[in-house]
A = this chain, B = another copy of it.
Amino acid sequence: MRESTTCSCEVIHDEIVETVTKKALSAEQYVDLATLFKMFGDPSRVRLLHALSVHEMCVCDLAAYLGITKSAVSHQLKSLRLCNLVKYRKEGQVVFYSLADDHVETLLAIGIEHIEE
Beta-carbon contacts under 8 Å, A31-71 to B: 31-47, 50-51, 54-58, 60-61, 63-70
A41 touches B46 (CB 8 A): no
Q: Is A2 located at the chain interface by the 8 A CB criterion?
A: no
Interface band, chain A:
35 or more
**Which of A21, A94, A115 neighbours the largest number of chain B CB atoms within 10 Å of its CB?**
A115
Of B17, B38, B112, which is within 8 A of A61 by CB? B17
* A84 CB, min distance to chain B CBs, angstroms: 7
Contacts of A63 in B (CB 8 A): 8-9
Q: Is A13 located at the chain interface by the 8 A CB criterion?
A: yes
Contacts of A31 in B (CB 8 A): 43
A39 to B24, CA, bound (A): 18
A65 touches B25 (CB 8 A): no
Q: Is A107 located at the chain interface by the 8 A CB criterion?
A: yes
Which B residue's beta carbon lies closest to that of A47? B30
Residue positions of A touching B, CB distance < 8 A: 3-4, 6-13, 16-17, 19-21, 23-25, 27, 29-47, 50-51, 54-58, 60-61, 63-70, 84, 94, 101, 103, 106-108, 110-115, 117
